[in-house]
Amino acid sequence: MYTLPSLLSPLLLLLLLPASGRVAAAPAILESRQSAAAQVVRLASVENLAVRANGQILATNMNSANLYAVDPVAKTSTTAVAVTGATGLSGIGEVAPDVFAVIGGKGIYMVDFTGGGAKASLVAQIKEASNLNGLAVFDNDTVLVADAGKGSVYRFSVSTGEYSVALSDPTMAPSGGIPFGIDGIKYRDGVVWYTNIFKNSFYKVPVDPATAKAAGAVTTLWTNLMGDDLCFGPNGKIYVATNSRNSLVEVDPAVGKPTAVASVTGSTSCAFGRTDSDKDVAYVGGGQGIFAAKISL
């Protein structure tokens, strides 16, 4: 979801209204072992993250067509590639070794690092989309793309560009002053996990492993803690960035209750390191850059 200082401004105004101006629920966090995360690099309004096998972090920004590459050891950032045709980038996921699907507006792009440098190409546009944001890798040919404006999820083939609506549910629908609903989305082992940022909610739904269509009822995990993008940890836990709650929370899938594990202002997204030296580090995107939080596994 949006971060400071760009498109989040209306969101922050809404969140900072006095209690008389909105319904405020107590945070859903039941416990905390929270500590401040260390800044890796300063980047404006990081939207989403992915980590390459070589340890390099990839970061998107909804106000820039640049896909940024970050070296977490040297603490430097460069532009990996400018995605031609996009004005901003959001969800990102690795669909094949060192090949990433990236949302740019209504388009789904492939960014391929296998030739040495990065090469970006448009697969296809989802022309009827309203506001594409979150992206989950479903298999090595398919991604799930969340439309926050319409409250639905597209199943999209990265080889053919064919797509169709796989999921649509009232829990994904936009609400409030800004038409933004389903935000973060991830898939693993027959289950889609997703947040609805303005409903302060987190959900899961079993899906068919071939079609990605719902194979059971939606389960609500919480309804009183803002959730933005999310990631899986190497310990089987799920981690959710809480945006205006300024934290990264850990969720045991078997329990579904959050525990705060890191403090990051305006946290939007997360991804774990992939090298031996940082596999227990959660990299967290936020309004002021990328941060690193060591997680007890």
- What are 201-233's pLDDT values in tens digits? 999 999 999 999 999 999 999 999 999 999 999
Q: Given the structure tokens 């979150």, which residue do they identify?
A: 134
Q: What is the pLDDT averaged over residues 122-144?
A: 97
If pLDDT is split at 50, 70 and 90, which confidence band does 21 have? very low
DSSP labels for 81-125? EE-TT-S----EEEEETTEEEEEETTEEEEEE-TTSS-EEEEEEE
Query: For residue 23, is pLDDT > 70?
Result: no
pLDDT tens track for 54-96: 999 999 999 999 999 999 999 999 999 999 999 999 999 999 9
pLDDT tens track for 179-198: 899 999 999 999 999 999 99
- Residue extents of the structural domains in the chain: 25-294
Q: What is the pLDDT averaged over residues 220-249?
A: 97
Query: For residue 293, is pLDDT > 50?
Result: yes
Q: Which residue has the higher pLDDT, 217 or 34?
A: 217
Per-residue model confidence (pLDDT) at position 36: 78
If pLDDT is split at 50, 70 and 90, which confidence band does 8 have? very low
If pLDDT is split at 50, 70 and 90, which confidence band does 9 have? very low
Measured on CA atoms in the order 209, 215, 219, 225, is the torsion positive or negative?
positive
3-state secondary structure of 198: helix
If pLDDT is split at 50, 70 and 90, which confidence band does 112 have? very high
Query: For residue 24, is pLDDT > 90?
Result: no
Mean of the per-residue pLDDT values for the chain?
A: 90
Per-residue model confidence (pLDDT) at position 20: 30
- Closest by CA to 158, choosing from 176, 142, 170, 169, is 142
DSSP labels for 39-80? EEE--SS--EEEE-TTS-EEEE-TT-SEEEEEETTTTEEEEE
**Topology of domain 25-294, per CATH?**
Neuraminidase (2.120.10)
